[in-house]
Structure 1
Amino acid sequence: MSHQGESEEERQQMAAPAMEGAAVTALRSVMFRVQQAAERSGRRSDQVRVIAVSKTKPVSLIRQVYDAGHRCFGENYVQEIIEKAPQLPDDIEWHFIGHMQSNKVKSLLAGVPNLTMVESVDDEKIANHLDRVVASIGRKPLKVLVQVNTSGEASKSGVEPSSCVELAKHVKLGCPNLEFSGLMTIGMPDYTSTPENFRTLSNCRIEVCKALGIAEEQCELSMGMSGDFEQAIEMGSTNVRIGSTIFGPREYPKKQAN
């Protein structure tokens, strides 16, 4: 009978310490690898931001990584980030990196006052919507990245590389409550990009900076995930999004048997 009465949460808490120790160890290893890749690309490691992508992971695990000194976290789903953010310290810099739907913008911005950046702006409509909501709730301008589909797959969000200048211009000149901060890409089907994907994004940055009259240092490149972040950094990424290498495999809820 001993295990019968335990809730799933209690069981998770009992299992948590071993998992959590592993996440902190993994974080330290990732930070070391980032530092080395940055040095290979002739930059300092503090010129590369590591976003710990915590989708499907419990707040207790995020808290462990926070307690180890990390402050930058990313989520893919609005529902998840608005549930987790209020339970965690407000000096966390949250990045929203999932596909953004207009009808979720208000709940995202109202529910996460410490949202630092939306990395996934892929059309003018969503940019306009974010701009209006930022103004209506009176928060400071929101940093956004324009998402570019560098792999040409229909399943991926993002503007065509040929349209990135137009969308970047719209954000910078037409959305006073947004701060255009750079470009983001996801990459190939298995989420490991080939150098071509990274090169495409770098080329987009050159065009965007020319069109907007800004220095390349003012235009971030968010590219690289668990499988390819070192290569991405070597090719100029300023922002890597690392989930499973820090937190372990995603845990999608299993369907309850009736």
Structure 2
Amino acid sequence: MAAPAVEGAAVAALRSVMHRVRHAAERSGHSSDLVRVVAVSKTKPVSLIRQVYDAGHRCFGENYVQEFVEKAPQLPEDIEWHFIGHLQSNKIKSLLSGVPNLAMVEGVDNEKIANHLERAVSSLGRNPLKVFVQVNTSGEASKSGVDPSGCVELVKHVKLHCPNLEFSGLMTIGMPDYSSTPENFKTLSNCRIEVCKALGMEQQQCELSMGMSGDFELAIEMGSTNVRVGSTIFGPRDYTKKQPN
């Protein structure tokens, strides 16, 4: 009898998150319509994702390819799926073929991954795939992402040499204790300024994906247009069933 209570809690938590997003956007002087909330459902069962879907949410994110390709076919086709984090090149084809409604890869962190994605999208004959370039703004060796100094060149590569990829913005994952969050977000914002200047883009053409469960309101106030909220919606994750990426 416990499952319905958990599922009901997820829907209530989603509504609370959307309320907080609206208020954070108002404080930043932007419309909340410009902020996308990715409900990160890694390690969570299809039944729980379906409850949040039935409450009206359509954008979900996963981190592990094997888990992703098992879950996505069991869920409605109008879901806007995001793959978040580092993607191994040998998993790209299985991801793209297993999740035909994949809308975004948040985590292109080097030219090799960009090239593999480009070839896979081309070979499958699917529509261009939106991508965010991942930037390591905290300087941690354990984090994926291009160094901020290499951000412009990687974006140029995607824009100029990967016609089947649609560069949509920059993303970062801050330090887990949030101690450097404002600096990380400021770094990403500065990267956007440099990218837009170098490529002659308007800033609204380059999204910022920053902010997770612990800091998404601050991220929105600092300009984020894409926040990734998992445990705050779905509850603590069960990593005992974690699939390898």
TM score, norm. by length of structure 1: 0.92
Counterpart contact for 1:56–1:251, Cα < 8 Å: yes
Question: 1:33 maps to which residue?
Answer: 20
Q: Aligned equivalents of 1:247 and 1:64: distance in 2?
A: 10
Question: 2:159 maps to which residue?
Answer: 172
4+ residue runs over 4 A deviation: none
Q: Aligned equivalents of 1:139 and 1:152: distance in 2?
A: 35
Question: 1:163 maps to which residue?
Answer: 150
Q: Aligned equivalents of 1:215 and 1:97: distance in 2?
A: 25
| Cα offset, 1:194, TM superposition | 1.8
Q: Aligned equivalents of 2:239 and 2:192: distance in 1?
A: 35
Aligned-partner SS, 1:253: helix
Q: Residue by residue, what CA displacement relative to the aligned partner does 1:99-157 show, whole Å, maximum 9, x if unpaired? A: 10000000000000000000000000000000000000000000000000000000000
- Structure 2 residue corresponding to 1:154, chosen from 113, 119, 141: 141
Question: 1:95 maps to which residue?
Answer: 82
1:149 alignment partner AA: N
CA RMSD of aligned residues (A): 1.2
2:85 alignment partner AA: G
Report which structure shows greater RCO (CA 8 Å, sep ≥6).
2
Question: 1:248 maps to which residue?
Answer: 235
Q: Residue by residue, what CA displacement relative to the aligned partner does 1:12-53 show, whole Å, maximum 9, x if unpaired? A: xx4320100000000000000000000111111110000000
Question: 2:46 maps to which residue?
Answer: 59
Counterpart contact for 2:43–2:241, Cα < 8 Å: no
Q: Share of identical aligned residues, percent?
A: 84
Aligned-partner SS, 2:240: coil
Q: Aligned equivalents of 1:254 and 1:108: distance in 2?
A: 19
Counterpart contact for 1:150–1:185, Cα < 8 Å: yes
Q: Which runs of 5+ in 1 are unaligned?
A: 1-13
2:149 alignment partner AA: S
- Structure 1 residue corresponding to 2:172, chosen from 179, 185, 197: 185
1:198 alignment partner AA: F
- Structure 2 residue corresponding to 1:129, chosen from 90, 113, 116: 116
| Cα offset, 1:190, TM superposition | 3.0
Q: Aligned equivalents of 2:12 and 2:206: distance in 1?
A: 31
2:165 corresponds to 1:196: no
